[in-house]
Amino acid sequence: MANKMTKKVSQTVSVIASAAVSLTMMMAAPLQAQQTIVGEEYTPTIWIDPDGCEHWVMDDGFEGYMSPHRQRDGSPVCRRQEICGVIPTDTLFANDESWVADAARSRLTQFFQSANATGFLVYGHTDANASDEYNMRLSQRRADVVSSIAQSAGVRVVESRGFGERRPAVAGNSAEAYRQNRRVEIICLR
């Protein structure tokens, strides 16, 4: 048993001695001989996709991460866009409805085919007559209907979103303010 104990102590002393010698050699080596390992530099940038929308990018050339840049309300941050059509919903939709008459459908189809855009964002809006939840659903249905007309015309719809009464064009509770707030905005990406 004493032999085993002596062997373990001897091994421990030899390990400690080796570590001490290695440490001494490392400290004694001149600074020029020491090698510094430099990690990759991650530079945050913003990438603009073909639609003009921004994406946050963190990339080192080997692997990276990207996520869309969005505003607080969830809508994308896009450049090179212009509102190319604001259509009062009273001319497209009956009260509390989300279907489009044939005459309005053909006008929309002609508009989408002649707009000369690479993509469209379609945003539906309502007045403040009903509850927020109801208006959100109605504006989304209306935006989706206009988007489906655009897609059937052979154009690309990047986003279709309903904002309900949350983004009024005109403040107020008058009949005129309500009329101006009931609209579908079509944003062209060029």
Listed by start position, the domains of the chain span: 39-78, 81-189
pLDDT of res. 143:
95
| Tens-binned pLDDT, residue by residue, of the chain (190 aa) | 556 666 665 666 565 756 555 656 555 555 555 666 565 666 677 777 766 778 888 776 666 667 888 888 888 887 666 778 888 888 888 778 888 888 899 999 999 999 988 888 899 999 998 999 999 999 999 999 999 999 999 999 988 999 999 999 999 889 898 888 899 999 888 7
pLDDT of res. 144:
96
pLDDT of res. 110:
94
Burial (CB count within 10 angstroms: exposed 0-12, middle 13-18, buried 19+), residue 180:
middle
Q: Enter the pTM of the model.
A: 0.60
pLDDT of res. 131:
94
CA 24 to CA 13: how far, in whole Å?
A: 16
Geometric angle at alpha carbon 95, from 89 and 179, rounded to 5°: 50
| Domain 81-189 top-level CATH class | alpha beta
